[in-house]
Chains A and B, each alone.
Chain A
C-alpha cells in the first residue's frame, strides 16, 4: 500500500490567495484527520471525518478554513483567504477504526504539506 498521500508537498503563496491541500487516505480506512503542526502548539487536530462525514471540526481555527471529503478516497483542506500565520506543516492521517473507539488501531500519517504564506 502506498500509505497516506498528500499533495502538494510544498506550497508557497501570497497572503490573500486561496490554498487547497489534498489527501488520499489508505484504502479501506474510514476515518480521516487533518492536523496542523507549529512550533508553539505542536500537532493540532483541525477536523476529522468518519465515513466521509465531518465528526469534529472544533479545531478549525476560523471560517477561512474549510474541509471536505466527497468520497472515501479523497479529502481537501482549503484556506481562503490565506494569511502569514497559517504557515505551518499540515498533515493528513487515516485510521481503519470507526466512530467507536478502537484502541488497537493507530493513525497513519501522510508526509505533510509545508505551507508558507508570504
Chain B
C-alpha cells in the first residue's frame, strides 16, 4: 500500500517555464514532508522540506506547498533550468517512535527542454 503517491511518472517542461510536481499521501499522521532530487547513477539528495504546521516553504527557485486537508503537496520550480532535469522523490515522516524513518513516493522524472 503506497502511503505516498506520485501519480505522474514523468513531466516535460520548457526552459524558463514553471515545473509543478505533485504528491499525495494517505497517512494523516505524517507531519513532515521532503523532496529529494536524483540524477542518474547518483543517490538522492535533499532539496527542500516543509513541516505540517506550515503551508508553504520557499528556497530560491524552489517552493513547496502543503494542503493538509487534501493530503497533497507540490513542488514548484520557477524558472525551470535544464540542470533541473532529474527524478524527484516526495517523502514523508511521522514524529515519534519511528524516528527518522521516511516513506518515499515512486518518483517523477522531470525533463526541462532547452
Contact = CB atoms under 8 A, between A and B. Distances in A.
Contacts of B100: 31, 33, 48, 95, 97, 101-102, 105, 107
A103 interface: yes
Contacts, number: 76
Contacts of A4: 43
A41 B106 contact: yes
Given A42-B105, A42-B107, A106-B34, A99 B99 contact: yes
Q: Chain B's interface: helix, strand, loop or mixed, by majority? A: loop
B114 interface: no
Nearest to B89: A43
A101 B44 contact: no
Contact of B43 (A95, A102, A106, A110): A110
B102 interface: yes
A76 B43 CA distance: 17
Contact of A43 (B42, B44, B46, B95): B44
A56 B98 contact: yes
B99 A55 contact: yes
Contacts of B107: 42-43
Given A41-B106, A42-B107, A43-B104, A107 B46 contact: yes
A115 B33 CA distance: 29
B32 A103 contact: yes
Interface of B: 2, 6, 32, 34, 36, 41-46, 49, 51, 89, 91, 93, 95-96, 98-107
9 contacts: A44-B104, A45-B101, A48-B100, A98-B99, A100-B99, A106-B34, A106-B46, A107-B46, A108-B46
